[in-house]
Amino acid sequence: MIGHDVFLPTPLPMLCAGITIMLVTTAWRRSINRGFLSGMVTLLLALAFVGYHTGSVPDNEDSLFIQDQWTNYTAILIIFSSMCILLMSWRNGAQDRTTPLMDEYPLLCMLGTLGALTMVFSANYMPFFLGLEILGISLIGLVTFRHGPAMQGYEAAMKYLIPSGVSSAILLFGIGLAYGVTGSLQFMPPIATGDISPALPASAIVMILSGIFFKLSAVPFHMWLLDVMEGAPVPVAAFLAIVSKIAIFSSFVRYFGTGNQPLFLSIILYVVIILTIMGGNILALRQTSLTRLLACSSIAHVGYLLIAFLCPGHLQSGAITIYLAAYTASTLGVFAIIAAFATPDGPDGTVIAQWKGLFFNRPFLASAMSLMLLSLAGIPPGIGFFAKFNIAATGVEHQRNLLLGVLIIGSIIGLYYYLNIIRIMMAAPSLSSTNPNQPVRPELIALVIVLTVIVVIGGLFPARALRPLVPVPLVQPETLNKITMH
């Protein structure tokens, strides 16, 4: 039982209760549809109560959780993304033509969402690492739901398990060093005091940073992401590219968002940003698989976000929050269209060549896909244009000329491979192209329409659509325990 004085953000116990109910109903009678419905209802309730909490606000530095505007905002993005991914997975028979989805699938999705939210709300190393492992173990199970002739799901799960275990070990070792320096498990960078050598907190920061970069798949810790996303079902690939990235980046901002980073941290970030933007975009040029291309794209977008993180100031909060919203809506839209494109007895939509002639066969899906790709590239009228413009504005404010040059070059490269997909869709259809009379699941059409509206409204009316996102402040160490009451 949770006592009255124990502070806990409401989405966490709500998700725990929903998962428990799903386990009980699964033990009683298996039903995949009931599992998806229970998960969707639980996520809707968690979304409705994001700003609430149980217990009293802690006044000391021993709180396990924190709730402020930043955590509420990223929690909304995670819950909304999980709802969209569940909707993509509902009645999805195209990804696995031999073994249908079981009710473990929505249960693992819910567990992954719980782990992501635990990381977001964490103010302590213990719940952060626990949430990280819940998320990682759930993803290993979800990836295996794609079975093919080459057992792609099992191979991808092993490729995720090994680097995930290594990065978790490195991260845990860094947490141990940080605890040895500070004597506290509070989630903030260690600072050397007294007779402690400065090398010890520096080593802790580097190891924690390396573990987080593994999870973010920043270059040079990125190679696992391409194979895992290619081998996973399309909705699970979306979960990897969106939910896990938002949770880890939110924790990264919570941990290092002090505005007073040591010099060596700034140098490391400089190098990683350049490698991540250029590496992600250059890798995408060679891809023939759409999911691998989106994996490379997500790597590059991590680099763009890190530019704003490295430029603290009055523009930083708006740039990061708007960019997260734009990336989430646009990437969800692409994956939803892939899921709508796939057919049980035809192409699964993961190969770029399969999209040839889509403008002739399915003009709505092709138009929506073009809009999402242009938004990811930072081209009007999508919301991505203003997101990338704000990232560039933060670089101009701090005169990060080298990073601005890398951003421009990376954006030009990204525009090439995004436009190449649109070119393929506009080509004349071949005999093996998708049957235009093949019905599309209505829930996916509705999801694509909703995401398209979000991307268009954010792009055409940025002042009104994006104003609520700008005031979201990034955390500072002195505000770590100032919990925002609803």
Least confident of 21-30, 377-386, 413-422: 21-30
Q: Residue 382 pLDDT more than 50?
A: yes
Query: At residue 480, does pLDDT exceed 50?
Result: no
Give one DSSP letter per residue of 372-388, joined into a string.
HHHHHHT-TTSHHHHHH
Amino acid present at 193: T
pLDDT in tens, 249-280: 999 988 887 556 677 888 899 999 999 999 99
The span from the CA of 144 to the CA of 301, in Å, is 26
Instruction: With CA atoms as reference, report the closest residue to 187 among 94, 92, 251.
Output: 251
Q: Check residue 153 and give its pLDDT.
A: 75
Give the pLDDT score at 296: 93
Residue 428's region, left for phi above 0, alpha for psi from -120 to 50, else beta, is beta
Q: CB within 8 A of 352, min separation 6: which ones? A: 287, 288, 289, 290, 293, 420, 421, 424
Does 239 have pLDDT greater than 70?
Answer: yes
> Of the candidates 381, 368, 371, which has an alpha carbon nearest to the alpha carbon of residue 337?
368
pLDDT tens digits, residue range 390-407? 899 888 888 889 999 999
Q: For residue range 123-149, what is the model confidence (pLDDT) as tens digits?
A: 889 999 999 999 999 999 898 886 565
Query: Once rounded to an integer, what is the mean pLDDT over residues 179-190?
Result: 84
Residue 421: closest CA among 320, 483, 298, 334: 334
The pTM assigned to this predicted structure is 0.91
CA atoms within a 13 Å half-sphere pointing along the CA-CB vector of 281? 25
> Token pair of 115, please?
């782990």
Higher pLDDT, 153 or 37: 37
> What's the chain's Rg over C-alpha atoms?
22
Higher pLDDT, 92 or 422: 422
pLDDT number for residue 381: 87
User: What tens digit of pLDDT does each residue of 456-465 get?
Assistant: 998 888 766 6
- How many whole angstroms separate alpha carbon 274 and alpha carbon 303? 7
Angle between helices 69-89 and 32-48 (to 10 degrees): 160
Are the C-beta atoms of residues 169 and 183 closer than 8 Å to each other?
no
- Residues constituting the chain: 486
CA–CA separation, 232 and 229 (whole Å): 5
Residue 377: its pLDDT value, please? Answer: 92
What percentage of the chain reaches a pLDDT higher than 90?
44
Torsion angle (degrees, nearest 10) of CA 364, 369, 371, 377: -170
- Among residues 23, 44, 37, the alpha carbon closest in space to that of 89 is found at 37
Q: What is the mean pLDDT of residues 354-369?
A: 89
The string of pLDDT tens digits covering residues 8-54 is 888 999 999 999 998 888 888 877 778 888 889 999 999 999 988 77
| Tokens encoding 22 | 């799903």
